[in-house]
A and B are shown apart, each in its own frame.
Chain A
Amino acid sequence: MSTSLSTSSNPTQWRRPPVMFKRRWHGYLFLAAIVIYLITATWSIEVDWGRVQEGMARGWRFLQGFLVPDFTTRWRDIQQGLIESLTMTWTSTLAGILISIPIGIGAARNLAPAPIYFLCRSIITLSRSFQEIIIAILLVAMFGFGPFAGFLTLTFASIGFVAKLLAEEIEACEAVQIEAIRATGAGWWQVVNYAVQPQVMPRLIGLSLYRLDINFRESSVIGIVGAGGIGATLNTAIDRYEYDSAGAILIMIIAIVLVVEYSSSYIRRWVQ
């Protein structure tokens, strides 16, 4: 043991160890690749500055419209759009949950036999892989314009969300309780009703409220492709350059989302 070696190898300056990569230069290489990509990507955006300048006046008008919203001129349209959105949200969330419960149970590995498990999992994957807007486009083409197509879109989209999370919750259930109920000689239905349901109910209510929230946000856009709701009204308002009406609609959307979000988080805390 030479003492000179140990003193010379002691660093006097502390350097923070790299967090993500084992070697420092890996990090630099990664960073360089990202920077090169970002520059290429930024370069590929063509900006028509003349058009932007022209738009600034419009942007300003929109901002003014947002600060001084006009609720009265288009009130009838706004009211109709909002009622459509809200009823669509409510009915589709309810229908989505009712369909999700059997599918969610079927997609839980600890309750369902293999063929049913795979069937239910594929329904969930199908529902989750496409954006609501794309489903809305297809359903509007099939069922015609209006809130009915929107109702179907949101119901379909809710299934993937609620059923997937419900299935995960059922799989995470305490097996001991299921075993205990099964030991009393209970059938499959009784196991679901007395062992699984009490365990997952709070979570299911939480999920439903969360989905209600999401469905309202989505119902405010699917109108753009013709599926009814406030989105259609908003689209018309912007197309006609009526920014004060558009501002009013946006304020109402934000307000409703706020109310739904706060009340649902309140109810969730109360249930769980």
Chain B
Amino acid sequence: MTDSSPSHAPVWQRSSSRQRLVKWVGLFWLVAFSVYCWQVMNEDTIWAFVEDAPAQAADIGERMFPPEWSYLGRLWQPLWDTLNMATLGTVLGVIMAVPVAFLAASNTTPSVRFIRPLALLIIVASRSINSLIWALLLVAIIGPGLLAGVIAIGLRSIGFVAKLLYEAIEEIDERQVDAVRATGASGLQVMNYAVVPQILPAFWGISVFRWDINIRESTILGLVGAGGLGLNLQSSLNVLAWNQVSMIFVVILLTVIASEWVSARVRQAVL
């Protein structure tokens, strides 16, 4: 019985040899593709600048360090504008998103074949274009200012709100809808008494969540001319006033933390 010598004892292995081969070949292609991408991307990179980066970073850090606290006085107005832009943009986005969500949800849409794909297309188009690009376009069309920012935020929010809302609509308890319909309620009454109460908590949760995201987004929309803190950021960057820039960063950070806190509290309360 020489076969059962310890060197021939079977060893447990997680995957079969074929699986392992596939895994290694896949990994090889992944690495090769990534290296290729890396080289294509860095064709025009000037490595001298990259080597110089730590020195640059130290220099910028030094110039940023004491944030210019006196500049804070001039930031209250833009901060107020930023908050308004985010809030009004969210309201606008939500108003536009609600009908889209009802048209996209397979249990409330009037036509699964024609209207639902259209609503889904609106959702995807709105989500795939960043609010900064919307702002860039709107500033070119209606001129710089808060209005462009509000509309940009609104257009960008449609996709997010509508997507989450239509998922919530599709998850409702159909028995309640049947129950209300059994009382002889009309279509609108079914909406009002069976569908809306079920999605209302999700609706408030989604809206506040989007508002929180919009606060972040609206802080930078000014970079392309749409008003708010980003406008100050742009002008401070243009004159290389790094201590003003760091002051703006501090304000943005505090605003974002505050809005996140508010959003978390509200979502806890309604969901």
Chain A residues with a Cβ under 8 A of chain B: 16, 19-20, 37-38, 41-42, 44-48, 51-52, 54-56, 58-59, 62, 83-84, 86-88, 90-91, 94, 129-131, 133-134, 137-138, 141-144, 146-148, 151, 217-218, 220-221, 224-225, 231, 234-235, 238, 241, 246, 250, 253-254, 257-258, 261
- Given A44-B80, A84-B41, the answer on whether A133 and B220 have CB atoms closer than 8 Å is yes
User: What residues on A are CB-neighbors of B244 within 8 Å?
Assistant: none
Q: Assess whether A141 is in contact with B223, with CB atoms less than 8 Å apart.
A: no
Q: Pick out which of these stretches binds chain A: B18-26, B67-75, B81-89, B96-104.
A: B81-89
**In whole angstroms, what is the CA distance A233 to B92 when docked?**
29
- Which DSSP category, helix, strand, loop or mixed, fits chain B's interface? helix
Partner of A225, one of B33, B53, B60, B223: B223
Q: Assess whether A148 is in contact with B45, with CB atoms less than 8 Å apart.
A: yes
Complex: chain A residue closest to B34, CB-CB: A94
Partner of A224, one of B57, B125, B132: B132
B212 at the A interface (CB under 8 A): no
**In whole angstroms, what is the CA distance A221 to B41 when docked?**
17
Q: Assess whether B124 is in contact with A250, with CB atoms less than 8 Å apart.
A: no
B157 at the A interface (CB under 8 A): no
User: What residues on B are CB-neighbors of A257 within 8 Å?
Assistant: 124, 127-128
Least CB distance from A43 to B in Å reads: 9
Q: Assess whether A148 is in contact with B60, with CB atoms less than 8 Å apart.
A: no
Chain B residues with a Cβ under 8 A of chain A: 30, 33-34, 37-38, 40-42, 44-46, 49-50, 53, 56-57, 60, 80-81, 84, 87-88, 91, 124-125, 127-130, 132-133, 136-137, 140-143, 145-147, 150, 193, 197, 200-201, 204, 216-217, 219-220, 223-224, 233, 237, 249, 252-253, 256-257, 270
Q: Assess whether A143 is in contact with B50, with CB atoms less than 8 Å apart.
A: yes
Least CB distance from A139 to B in Å reads: 9
Q: Assess whether A62 is in contact with B50, with CB atoms less than 8 Å apart.
A: no
User: What residues on B are CB-neighbors of A37 within 8 Å?
Assistant: 87
**In whole angstroms, what is the CA distance A84 to B40 when docked?**
8
Least CB distance from B87 to A in Å reads: 6
User: What residues on B are CB-neighbors of A133 within 8 Å?
Assistant: 132, 220, 223
Complex: chain B residue closest to A148, CB-CB: B45
Q: Assess whether A46 is in contact with B38, with CB atoms less than 8 Å apart.
A: no
User: What residues on A are CB-neighbors of B41 within 8 Å?
Assistant: 84, 87-88, 91, 147-148, 151
**In whole angstroms, what is the CA distance A52 to B200 when docked?**
36
**In whole angstroms, what is the CA distance A218 to B88 when docked?**
24
Complex: chain A residue closest to B200, CB-CB: A19
Complex: chain B residue closest to A37, CB-CB: B87
Q: Assess whether B136 is in contact with A47, with CB atoms less than 8 Å apart.
A: no
User: What residues on B are CB-neighbors of A218 within 8 Å?
Assistant: 130
- Given A218-B130, A254-B125, A258-B128, the answer on whether A45 and B136 have CB atoms closer than 8 Å is no
